[in-house]
Amino acid sequence: MLSRVAENIYWMARYVERAENTARVVMVNANLLLDLPRGVAPGWEPLIWITGSTELFEARYKSYGERQVVKFLLGDEDSACSIISYLRQARENARAIRDIIPRESWEQLNALVLGTRASLQQGLTKGGRYAYLKSVIHGCQGLTGMLAGTMNHDQGYHFLRIGRNLERADMTTRIIDVRSADLLPGESELRPFETIQWVSVLKSLTAYQMYRRSRQLRVTRPDVLRFLFQSDEFPRAVYHCMEAVEASIAPLPRSDSALRLIGRIKRQLQEADVGSLRQDDLHTYIDALQLIFGDLHGEIATTWFLPQAQVQAQSA
């Protein structure tokens, strides 16, 4: 497979996953604000932290109001972190490989981009936001399902799964990091709202029902952290994502270095007692994980995305 084809498939999957996760996070934040009393609710700024785009946002907007943050994340054409930008970039990658992916999936992605842009004004209103975000999530999930059901499960599909699951693992850690830090400072008078906080973390990842099925416990910080980091069954848990990346990388040529990195990540996930980590330690732990995710992406790009001659030159 040509390196440019592999790279386009990989990035198409990552951008679609980012669009879906961004839609989900905005939706859950809006619901959380309704559940928490004024003064305790975190507002909209944490959503910008999750995307890691604070500098870009502050260069374009003067305040972290609801209208500004929602516009930035849903439809700002000049923001590289908006749902529309993610879907547009996914489509540009898909356009380059139209003869590789099923025609129906190209049409589905194209329709998703056009529909999301056409109904943007609906998404910017409080009354229409839920339906808009729901349509984005369903559109992304439909595309993922269509590709799984119609695309050859060859090397191209392996790169699709690598991109999707690496992006998913990264987004899960970002949501845990920000959501576990910003909502409740731990004062005793706010304890009654702790369960709402952790339910919102689970719902941000569509993990609430699966958590209750597997843990059958009340929602607590240690159990939620163990579930979202270490579950090998829940598809958005970091450990499960790494197992999926590993399964797709293993059949590829020259995979030894990438597999060693994944083994290191899995050991870090298995050996850590994440449930007992204090907030500062949890933040440090997540930082370390995200650095290795970056190393893994770099290893994937160096091994499979650069021209063969350049790869050989770097290996020499």
pLDDT at 315 over 50: no
Domain-located, residue 315: no
Q: In total, how many domains does the chain have?
A: 2
Share of the chain above pLDDT 70, in %: 91
State which residues form the domain around 9. Answer: 1-151
> pLDDT category, 184, cuts 50, 70, 90?
low
Q: In the chain, how long is the greatest CA-to-CA distance?
A: 63
Domain-located, residue 74: yes
Please write the tens of the pLDDT for every residue from 168-180: 999 999 888 877 7
184: phi then psi, degrees, rounded to nearest 5? -120, 125
Distance in angstroms (rounded) separating the CA atoms of residues 296 and 289: 10
Distance in angstroms (rounded) separating the CA atoms of residues 207 and 215: 12
| Mean pLDDT, residues 41-64 taken together | 86
Domain-located, residue 6: yes
> Model's pTM, two decimal places?
0.90
What is the per-residue pLDDT for 312? 41
| Mean pLDDT, residues 179-199 taken together | 65
Q: Write the CB contacts of 223 (distance below 8 Å, at least 6 apart in sequence).
A: 211, 215, 217, 275
What is the per-residue pLDDT for 38? 67
Helices first, then strands: H and E counts in the chain: 16, 0
pLDDT at 281 over 70: yes
| Same structural domain, 200 and 66 | no
Q: Are 168 and 236 in contact (CB under 8 A)?
A: yes
Domain-located, residue 316: no
Domain-located, residue 23: yes
Q: How many Cβ atoms are within 10 Å of 217's Cβ, its own excluded?
A: 12
Least confident of 132-141, 184-193, 300-309: 184-193
Using the 3D structure, point to which of 100, 118, 151 is the last residue of a domain: 151
pLDDT at 246 over 90: yes
Domain-located, residue 108: yes
| Same structural domain, 116 and 169 | no
Average pLDDT, the chain: 88
